[in-house]
């Protein structure tokens, strides 16, 4: 796939100054990978102005069948064949419940930890950059006593940002997680995602970008929104969990943000999610309301709130045990929003970069505003695309 992007993609690594940049996308069948491919042309058009000469870059989307990122020989072969300048790792093991049962924990760690490590090693060899996608499930929903900075950078103690839990040594987290908050995953899945983050940063340092996101949905693949739409057409009522709080995120908005980070030569750890927060129950109610309004549903059905314990008990009666999930995992995206809004690139310490100054805010695109709007607006944009 060849598309046009701004020359802002760094002149480094394995292409000539005037040649195409090669971007390898793993997990090409995933909803994010498909959104990245769909939005590549959008970002190219947004930045194709006379102020900046354009060049082509080459997208190499590889499915799991084409590249198993946990296979060292396969990864080395792919890097040798395509010699990427950038790698966007969308490959992941997402079976949160399955990962708790043997032999799945080993598979979860192979894909979510070993895989990113192998990609990072090859990026070191080729002087390439890596964008790795991680998860809000690296958090537990709790914070230890003494932590007290909110999303707005103000002491959460002032606004009672955390509430005391039954464990006197911990507080219930009720303000969005910052990048500086210490992770404490509850599940095998969450632990494997955190291990992948650690491996990437250990090997690549500032040449890595790790983006934690949450409750991802889109028009592609399997996700909560599409599942709800299907069930709302076939079930008389639905029980939906109401005591897990998070930040729903549209895959296309995340994809657009990933491209912006690449154009701006980002580095380090970022959070990105739709603004605001809700429970799964509130999310389902909004899905039904909007879908009915857009005539995607012909009728509305009763939605019944249920707590996590009750939901787990019902699942256990059906012979299925559920992994522990964070009671609260909303993410604060302010660091990323501020970085993208900066008028100048802050990459002087990267000797391989020689890039012009750019203010991305000067190039308006509908997705740019959607990316920083409330999760309900992102949901609306997604449903209107169906």
pLDDT digit of tens for each residue in the chain (386 aa)?
A: 544 443 444 443 454 455 678 999 999 999 999 999 998 877 666 555 433 334 456 899 999 999 999 999 999 999 999 999 999 999 999 999 999 998 999 999 999 999 999 999 999 999 999 999 999 999 999 976 555 556 764 333 333 334 433 444 578 898 999 999 999 999 999 999 999 999 999 999 999 999 999 999 999 999 999 999 999 999 999 999 999 999 999 999 999 999 999 988 899 999 999 999 999 999 999 999 999 999 999 999 999 999 999 999 999 999 899 999 999 999 999 999 999 988 754 443 443 333 334 444 445 566 667 889 999 999 999 999 99
Phi then psi for 306, rounded to 5 degrees?
A: -145, 145
Phi then psi for 244, rounded to 5 degrees?
A: -115, 125
189 given a catalytic annotation = yes
| Residue 53: predicted pLDDT | 34
**Which residues sit opposite 171 in a β-bridge?**
143, 164
| Residue 10: predicted pLDDT | 41
Cβ-contact 328, 186 below 8 angstroms: no
The reported pTM is: 0.86
| Residue 370: predicted pLDDT | 84
3 state SS for the chain = CEEEEECCCCCCCCCCCCCCEEEEEECCCCHHHHHHHHHHHHHHHHHCCCCCCEEEEEEEEECCCCCCCCCHHHHHHHHHHHCCCEEEECCCCCCCCHHHCCCHHHHHHHHHHHHHHHHHHHHHHHCCEEEEEEEHHHCCCEEECCCCECCCCCECCCCCCEEECCCCCEEEECCCECCCCCCCCCCHHHHHHHHHHHHHHHHHHHHEEEEEECCEECCCCCCHHHHHHHHHHHCCCEEEECCCEECCEEHHHHHHHHHHHHHCCCCEEEECCCECCEEHHHHHHHHHHHHHHCCCCCCCCCEEEECHHHHHHHHHHCCCCCCCCCCECCECCHHHHHHHHCCCCCCCCCCCCCCCCCCHHHCCCHHHHHCCCEHHHHHHHHHHCC
Tokens found for residue 293: 């309004």
Instruction: Name the catalytic one among 189, 217, 256, 272.
Output: 189
Q: Which region, left, alpha or beta, applies to residue 317 given φ > 0 means left and ψ of -120 to 50 means alpha?
A: alpha
294-352 pLDDT, tens digit per residue, is: 999 999 999 999 999 999 999 999 989 999 999 999 999 999 999 998 875 444 344 33
């Amino acid at each position: 796939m060849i598309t046009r992007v701004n020359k802002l993609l760094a002149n480094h690594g394995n292409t000539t100054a005037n040649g195409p940049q090669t971007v390898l996308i793993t997990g090409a069948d995933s909803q994010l990978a498909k959104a990245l491919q769909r939005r590549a042309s959008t970002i190219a058009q947004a930045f194709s102005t006379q102020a900046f000469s354009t060049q082509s870059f080459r997208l190499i989307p590889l499915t799991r069948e084409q590249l198993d990122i946990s296979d060292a020989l396969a990864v080395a072969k792919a890097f040798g064949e395509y010699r990427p300048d950038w790698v966007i790792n969308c490959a992941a093991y997402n079976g949160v419940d399955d990962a708790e049962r043997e032999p799945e924990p080993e598979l979860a760690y192979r894909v979510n930890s070993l895989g990113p490590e192998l990609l990072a090693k090859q990026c070191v060899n080729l002087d390439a950059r890596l964008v790795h996608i991680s998860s809000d499930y690296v958090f537990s929903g709790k914070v230890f006593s003494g932590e007290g900075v909110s999303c707005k950078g103000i002491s959460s103690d002032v606004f009672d940002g955390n509430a005391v839990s039954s464990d006197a040594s911990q507080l219930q987290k009720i303000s969005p997680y910052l990048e500086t908050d210490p992770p404490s995953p509850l599940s095998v899945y969450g632990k494997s995602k955190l291990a992948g983050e650690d491996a990437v940063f250990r090997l690549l340092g500032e040449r890595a970008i790790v983006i934690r996101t949450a409750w991802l949905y889109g028009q592609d693949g399997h996700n909560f929104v599409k599942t709800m739409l299907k069930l709302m057409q076939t079930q008389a009522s639905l029980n939906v969990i109401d005591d897990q709080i998070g930040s729903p995120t549209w895959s296309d908005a995340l994809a657009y943000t990933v491209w912006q980070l690449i154009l701006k030569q980002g580095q380090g750890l970022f959070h990105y999610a739709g603004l605001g927060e809700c429970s799964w129950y509130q999310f389902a109610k909004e899905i039904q309301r909007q879908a009915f309004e857009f005539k995607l549903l012909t009728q509305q059905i009763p939605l019944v709130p249920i707590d996590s314990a009750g939901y787990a008990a019902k699942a256990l009666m059906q012979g299925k045990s559920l992994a522990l999930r964070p009671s609260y995992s909303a993410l604060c995206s302010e660091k990323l929003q501020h970085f993208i809004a900066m008028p100048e690139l802050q990459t002087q310490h990267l000797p391989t970069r020689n890039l012009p100054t750019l203010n991305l805010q000067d190039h308006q695109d509908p997705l740019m505003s959607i990316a920083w709007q409330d999760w309900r607006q992102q949901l609306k944009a997604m449903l209107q695309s169906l």
